[in-house]
Amino acid sequence: MPTAASLTWLASPMCEVPPSKFTATMDGRGRLWGFEGNASCAYRDANGLPVYDWDTAPRCLGDASEGSSHADVEGRLWGWEAGSSCAFKDLDGRPLRTWANAARWAVLGCGWRHGS
């Protein structure tokens, strides 16, 4: 059994539950660690890629566009940078809005009306 000091992210067991801001800790490389069954575990998929939820995902540094982003079921934009998923969010963790994912009421609230 490897010691904590020698345990690497890829060699550690995969965490069984999804990450959350309450259960995950990000290391210096942006990978998430958890603790299950009295041992460290890594939040990664079967291909060895990091797994994130919205709160734990690193912030995308590029601009969101149709070609660089994909909306989840809640309308939050996700991207892919530096070999892993990232979330298009501001420095406070709020989802970035674009014309593609802005709520209809927000567009209407800006004075724009369909057909005008």
Residue 115 has pLDDT above 50, yes or no: no
Same domain, 67 and 24: no
| Residue 1, in any domain of the structure | yes
pLDDT tens digits, 10-44? 899 999 999 998 999 988 888 899 999 999 999 99
In DSSP terms, 80 is beta-bridged to 85
Range of the domain at 94: 57-99
Same domain, 10 and 41: yes
Residue type, 15: C
| Residues in CB range of 23: below 8 A, 6 or more apart | 17, 34, 35
DSSP result, 5-74: TT--TTTSPBPSSPP-TTT-EE-TTS-EEEEETTEEEE-B-TTS-B---TTTSPBP-S---TTT-EE-TT
Same domain, 47 and 75: no
Domains of the chain: total: 2
Helix, strand or coil, per DSSP, at residue 79: strand
Residue 72 has pLDDT above 70, yes or no: yes
Of 54, 31, 30, residue with least CA distance to 43: 31
Report residue 88's pLDDT band, with 50, 70 and 90 as the boundaries: very high
Same domain, 17 and 46: yes
| Residue 115, in any domain of the structure | no
